[in-house]
Amino acid sequence: MTRTETGCGCTSDTCESGGNYEIIKLIAGGAMFAAGIILNIIGVNYLISLAVYIVSYLILGGGIILRALKNITRGQVFDENFLMSVATIGAFAIGEYPEAVAVMLFYNVGEYFQELAVRRSKKSITDLMDIRPDYANLLKNGEIIRVSPQTVNIGDVITVKPGEKIPLDGIVAEGKSMIDTSALTGESVPRRARVSDAVLSGSININGVLTVEVTKTFGESTVSKIIDLVENASGKKAPTESFITKFARYYTPAVVGLAALIAVIPPLFFSGIWVDWIHRGLIFLVISCPCALVVSIPLSFFGGIGGASRRGVLIKGGNYLEALNNLDIVVFDKTGTLTKGVFKVTNIQPSGGYTESEVLELAAKAEAFSNHPIALSINDAFGGETDKSQLTDYNEIAGHGISVRSGGQTTILAGNYKLMQMYNIPCEESQSIGTKVYIAVDDVFAGCIEISDEIKHGSHGAIAALKAKGVRKTVMLTGDNRQIAEAVAAELKIDDVYGNLLPHEKVGMAEKLNEDKQGKLAFVGDGINDAPVLACADIGIAMGGLGSDAAIEAADIVLMTDDPSALVTAIDIARFTKRIVRQNIILALGIKAVVLLLGALGIATMWEAVFADVGASLIAVLNATRILRNS
């Protein structure tokens, strides 16, 4: 059997063996407990039935007592193990042997079902994230060698056959296929991969053979980062989880003190019967165990994180999941976040006797060495091959454009309107909305090319849904032209827009917005220039499919679908998680309060105490698992 890691920090086979041990312990302890009751009923010697009870008690409660002793040596006195140990040993001391063993038996039954629920919740997440590749087909000297993905280097070439997982991030060098990215993005529709397309590790190659040039080592690959994010997400506690931890720290010694007072005060000052009041004090201790809160609250947040990851939203901690409930301002980058970041030539305005095709060819020559999206869109529109050997004196003029010499004689300028002004080239500035590239040849204006970026399909619905869910203000911060930014913001009905911003100016604007916020501020971006703002926002949200590594590293939440509407999904999951957490807190504390009062008044017996504690825990845990099922 393959030995795999599970989300609970152990291997799947050790988890299974641990569960089997618990069942054996429950059966053995329960059988001895039943034997003790039968021996007691038929009147066998008192010492024999006592011995059977003690053996049953040690089988069921030995581990709890040992944990209590270990925790005491570490200074952790007042925990559930201590409460159970004191209560049951006290029950033995006053001759309530069956009740003492019953407490341990039903406590163990409850713990077993709690652990079962936790294991199933974690396993569902582990299965969901079962995208770690087992091997890579390395192409070396014309041969295919199966190797560990960790041993493959950047620049190596691998082959991915139909049905195999893509082991490392890379660029398709040969072949075409459909790619299943559902494990990464939650998107069920396969994507087409062709030569020059980027492919992500963890995706599944469906129907074609792909030759892929590796662009990232395994440790830096998408699959490795996603696994790391999910495995470490539970490390950052939400405020509610931190509250429960602090609550238990004060609650436990308080109830131990109250139990002592219940056991001592009435006999000392009001002629109470010692055995009766000590029994009530012990019952009070059993009821007071905060198991339901301690187990179900973290499980609720873990379920929320798991449910979100199944929908293509990676949340790096419970604190960020809870923070989504209090969003007041959501700030968006434009290109690649609200728009596709895929530029297309939409209009060519020739001048000076040049034709549209000539203007486009001149622009393609100027942009031949650039990887900027605008340059790529011009070369895609041109469609032909540019003879780069004829291009010399390439010069990129920061903030303006490009100058290049073609054929050793002709100087081509391509850039914004400021570039034309810099070289004193007369032309009219285009007033149309879109990114403009002005072309000049030997200081004569040749024409203008207009390039537009398409708004993402989910952007309209995302902005509308955020406002419907109570987000007070939506803002766009972009380095793009203000006129273009305002046009996009108007179409999406975004409240405020700021254009022509450099990265440090985005940070400054985000800090100003922070001063105006009434709740949490979230920033959504995708580029490397967005990383500083993502880091300074209350909640940094990055586009994970096409976003830069720096943005993903700096973000607190990653939208693997690259769809802004996934943020709305994350908010829905966060609010459902919060409802479950509130229900569990009210349920646990409500049941505890009622039964504690009944125990103090002598109405509730040890049996009711056990059922109150175990029952409340089980109901709370089952309620918490609804998050995984419903998200």
Q: Which two structure tokens, joined as six digits, stand for 143?
A: 């041969």
Q: Which two structure tokens, joined as six digits, stand for 458?
A: 């989910």
Q: Which two structure tokens, joined as six digits, stand for 387?
A: 């003879």
CA distance 324 to 2: 39
Residue bearing tokens 């029950």: 91
Q: Which two structure tokens, joined as six digits, stand for 191?
A: 């994507």
CA distance 588 to 590: 6
Close Cβ partners of 88 (under 8 Å, ≥ 6 residues apart): 57, 61, 100, 101, 103, 104
DSSP characters over 112-154:
HHHHHHHHHHHHHHHHHT----S-EEEEETTEEEEE-GGG--T
DSSP characters over 551-609:
HHHH-SEEETT--THHHHHHHHHHHHHHHHHHHHHHHHHHHHHHHHHHHHTT-S-HHHH
Q: Which two structure tokens, joined as six digits, stand for 270?
A: 């009001």
Reported in sequence order, the residue ranges of 464-556 that DSSP labels E, i.e. its strands, are: 473-477, 496-498, 520-525, 539-543
Q: For the beta carbon of residue 167, count every other beta carbon within 10 angstroms.
A: 27
CA distance 221 to 149: 10
Q: Are 401 and 375 in contact (CB under 8 A)?
A: no
How many Cα atoms sit within 13 Å of 142 on the Cβ side?
0
Q: Which residues are catalytic?
A: 333
Distances (CA, A) of 458 to 340, 396, 561: 10, 35, 11
φ/ψ of 433, rounded to 5, equals -85, 130
CA distance 544 to 540: 12
DSSP characters over 261-316:
HHHHHHHHHS---HHHHHHHHHHHHHHH--HHHHHHHHHHHHHHHHHHHHTTEEES
The H or E element spanning position 76 is: none
Report the relative pairing of strands 401-406 and 391-397 from DSSP bridges: antiparallel
Q: Where are the alpha helices (DSSP H) in 352-498?
A: 356-366, 373-382, 417-422, 459-468, 482-492
CA distance 425 to 401: 14
Distances (CA, A) of 608 to 31, 105, 152, 516: 22, 14, 61, 53
Q: Are 396 and 402 in contact (CB under 8 A)?
A: yes
Quick one: which of 178, 547, 124 has its CA closest to 333?
547
Secondary-structure percent of the chain, ordered helix, strand, coil, rounded to 5: 55, 20, 25
